Chain A
Amino acid sequence: MTFELVSADEDAAVVKVTGELDITTIGDLEEAVQPILERGPQRLVIDVSSLRFADSSAIALWVKWSTIVRGLEIHDPQPLLRRVIDSMGLAQTLQVTP
């Protein structure tokens, strides 16, 4: 799993996550995103277009962020991930786009 901060300003940040995200790797991502959350942005876009796998603990982490940042957006999940999010009834909570 790798991640990069694509852009970050006062109001919005975009973080792109690549590879596989599971309980062994979410700690790194959480640590990296923490400073962004502390700035209190209006929007936080997690670009997961290159993420091949995310387990329930990763989804739980995103849901946690959605309770902190009103405008959390999970952008462009691959079909397998999209299906998991849908099956958990979280498509709206996570503001999955497109």
Chain B
Amino acid sequence: MTASNGEKTVPATTPHGRGWPYWSVVTVAVVGLLVTVGLIVVSTILYHNNENRLLNLRTRDIGSVLTAAVPTVQSSVASTATFAEATNGNARKFDEFAQQFAGQGAGHTFVSMSLWRVDNPGAGPTTVVGAQPELAASMGKAAALFARAAASHKLTVLGLLDGPAPRIGYAYVEPGTNGPYAVYAESLLPAKRYSAPSNDSSFNDINYALYLGKTPTANTLLLTSAPRVPLPGHRAVVTIPFGDTFLTVRATRRASLAGSLPRDLPWVIGIVGVLLTIGAGALTIRLIQRRRRTEQLADENRRLYAEQRGIAQTLQHALLPAELPQLHGLQASARYEAGVEGVEIGGDWYDAIAVGDKRLLLVVGDVSGRGLQAATTMAALRYGIHAYAAQGDEPGTILTKLNKLVSVKSSGQLATVLCALVDPDARELTITSAGHLPPLLISDGRGEFVNTDVGLPIGVDRNAEYTSVTVPVAPGATLLAFTDGLVERRGESIDVGLGRLREHAASNHATLDELLTRVVSNLRHDGAEDDTAIAGIRWLS
């Protein structure tokens, strides 16, 4: 005589073991800042590489300009030397010729040009055009210079000459002659050799310093656009041939050569990176908070679900009989199984009521729908049957009276009920069905569904009448009454389910309890939606 508990699969509320929740924010911030710093470093390196490349190009441009200017100096001196040779050192003709190159004023390449005899430099210049050559003050220097010039047959450059204004000297001896004539020219350098770059110059974005020779020192500086030499910072260097020596250009940047955007790019990256990092951090915080709220809600929902399911099951079992009456010669047992969505109370029930000392009324019923409304109706019907049975009514009368308690028109509910009155002494069974599935009667290992006279479900028609059928019962027989949850599956005929029940219930070697357990476990598939009530009676002899 047991009423088994329904499966209690209440999900446990698991406390979430979490530490400080904002580590991911720190991670996001650190990663964001590292990426930003990395990008700044990379963009700075790229910027400087690009600037240096541009500086080299610009410096080479300066070299090209100078390379183009060198022949002017060289050819002026060389052509004058050729002329002097051709005119046998005629001073008057030299003066006339050299006037195009030398003299005071901006139009002249040289400030001074003079004709010398290579074999006698100590005698001083034969003739002079323009200013007196500074060289004339140092005859030793002159002798060495003309000897070099005669040997090299190139424009021979004499370094800077001291004087009121710095000058640079050039000497040339016509090749193939060993003299006797040499032409010597001097050009003027700006005072302090500093010339501020003009804004419209194509080279105003760089500072340059021009040196004579390959070793840049303060003494070999010819010209610079920077107020101070040597030039600070990264320098590009270009060396170009100049007569028998070289010109060396050193240059540094005055401004960003590629424009302001590449220069400011690391700053832009830094600011954007920091802003994005802050944004990502804020977003992460919001996501964490939202997730925590969601988890709290989920916990709460799980708790409420478990509570509600617990209440539903408690109520359901409270509405079912705590134990079934014991009668001589009979064994009774029943099961109730909640559906998977067993949050709500169901409308299925079973009952067994002793009628007098000898007889037992077995009841199985199913109120349509779910929830409290179904449960309330179920309780009303169950206690109604108790009352009518106590008055001594037969099953047909019980259901006829019961039918007046419920109205589908007003409540939207109907109920199927099966009443079976068992009389062990008379070895017969009186069954009435209000729209309910037929019970299975198992005798000698064979199950047959009792052919009941199915009346309308309870609540459909107030005037419905219910008739009973009486069937004989063999010794040791078993009767199983059940609700549709046991045999009904979506997409399958209930006949298939009924057949399955007959097959699984056929062997009656087991005790009644074992039989019910086996039938329920074999017929209830996993995830059965509907709740199920099943009640059984066995005649012991």
Interface of A with B (CB < 8 Å)? 20, 23, 52-53, 55-57, 59-61, 63-64, 67-68, 79-80, 83-84, 87-90, 93
User: Interface residue tally of chain B, by bracket?
Assistant: 20 to 34
Which residue of chain A has its CB nearest to the CB of B492? A80
The complex places the Cα of A69 from the Cα of B90 at a distance, in Å, of 143
The reply to whether the CB of B455 lies closer than 8 angstroms to some CB of chain A is: yes
The reply to whether the CB of B381 lies closer than 8 angstroms to some CB of chain A is: no
Interface contact A60-B413, CB-CB below 8 Å: yes
Interface contact B408-A64, CB-CB below 8 Å: yes
Across-interface contacts of A80 in B (CB, < 8 A): 491-494
The reply to whether the CB of B416 lies closer than 8 angstroms to some CB of chain A is: yes
The reply to whether the CB of B92 lies closer than 8 angstroms to some CB of chain A is: no
Which residue of chain B has its CB nearest to the CB of A88? B435
Identify the 9 closest CB pairs spanning chains A and B, nearest first.
Answer: A88-B435, A60-B368, A67-B409, A89-B454, A56-B368, A57-B369, A60-B414, A57-B368, A64-B408
Which residue of chain A has its CB nearest to the CB of B367? A56
Interface contact A63-B460, CB-CB below 8 Å: yes
The complex places the Cα of A72 from the Cα of B314 at a distance, in Å, of 40
Interface contact A90-B460, CB-CB below 8 Å: yes
Interface contact A83-B493, CB-CB below 8 Å: yes
User: Which B395-432 residues have C-beta < 8 A from chain A?
Assistant: 408-409, 412-414, 416
Across-interface contacts of A52 in B (CB, < 8 A): 490-491
User: Which B491-519 residues have C-beta < 8 A from chain A?
Assistant: 491-495
Interface contact B457-A20, CB-CB below 8 Å: no
- Residue of B437, B456, B460 contacting most chain A CB atoms (<10 Å): B460
Across-interface contacts of B85 in A (CB, < 8 A): none
Interface contact B416-A88, CB-CB below 8 Å: yes
Across-interface contacts of B454 in A (CB, < 8 A): 87-89
Given A56-B484, A89-B457, decide whether A64 and B368 contact each other with a Cβ distance below 8 A.
Answer: no
Interface contact B412-A53, CB-CB below 8 Å: no
Partner of B494, one of A57, A63, A87, A90: A87
Across-interface contacts of B460 in A (CB, < 8 A): 63, 67, 90, 93
Interface contact B435-A90, CB-CB below 8 Å: yes
Interface contact B495-A53, CB-CB below 8 Å: no
Partner of A68, one of B369, B409, B491: B409
Q: How far is the CB of A89 from chain B (nearest CB, A)?
A: 4
Given A88-B416, A88-B454, A89-B457, decide whether A83 and B494 contact each other with a Cβ distance below 8 A.
Answer: yes
The reply to whether the CB of B302 lies closer than 8 angstroms to some CB of chain A is: no
Across-interface contacts of B455 in A (CB, < 8 A): 89
Across-interface contacts of B456 in A (CB, < 8 A): 89-90, 93
Q: How far is the CB of B415 from chain A (nearest CB, A)?
A: 9
Across-interface contacts of A23 in B (CB, < 8 A): 369-370
Given A80-B492, A89-B456, A90-B457, decide whether A61 and B412 contact each other with a Cβ distance below 8 A.
Answer: yes
The complex places the Cα of A37 from the Cα of B454 at a distance, in Å, of 30
Interface contact B368-A59, CB-CB below 8 Å: yes
The complex places the Cα of A89 from the Cα of B366 at a distance, in Å, of 15
Q: How far is the CB of A9 from chain B (nearest CB, A)?
A: 25
Partner of A60, one of B412, B437, B461, B491: B412
Which residue of chain A has its CB nearest to the CB of B438? A87
User: Which B99-130 residues have C-beta < 8 A from chain A?
Assistant: none
The complex places the Cα of A63 from the Cα of B488 at a distance, in Å, of 21
Across-interface contacts of B409 in A (CB, < 8 A): 64, 67-68
Q: How far is the CB of B102 from chain A (nearest CB, A)?
A: 109
The complex places the Cα of A53 from the Cα of B492 at a distance, in Å, of 9
The complex places the Cα of A89 from the Cα of B459 at a distance, in Å, of 13
Partner of A87, one of B412, B437, B459, B530: B437
| Extra 17 A-B pairs, beta carbons < 8 Å, given A57-B368, A63-B459, A67-B409 | A52-B491, A56-B414, A60-B412, A61-B412, A63-B457, A63-B460, A67-B460, A68-B409, A83-B495, A87-B435, A89-B433, A89-B435, A89-B456, A89-B457, A90-B435, A90-B457, A93-B456
Across-interface contacts of B408 in A (CB, < 8 A): 60, 63-64, 67
Q: How far is the CB of B36 from chain A (nearest CB, A)?
A: 53
Partner of A53, one of B414, B416, B484, B491: B491
The complex places the Cα of A89 from the Cα of B495 at a distance, in Å, of 16
Which residue of chain A has its CB nearest to the CB of B374? A57
Partner of A88, one of B370, B412, B457, B491: B457
Which residue of chain B has its CB nearest to the CB of A84? B494
Task: Encode B435-459 as 1/0 by CB contact (under 8 A) with A.
Answer: 1110000000000000000111101
Which residue of chain A has its CB nearest to the CB of B498? A87
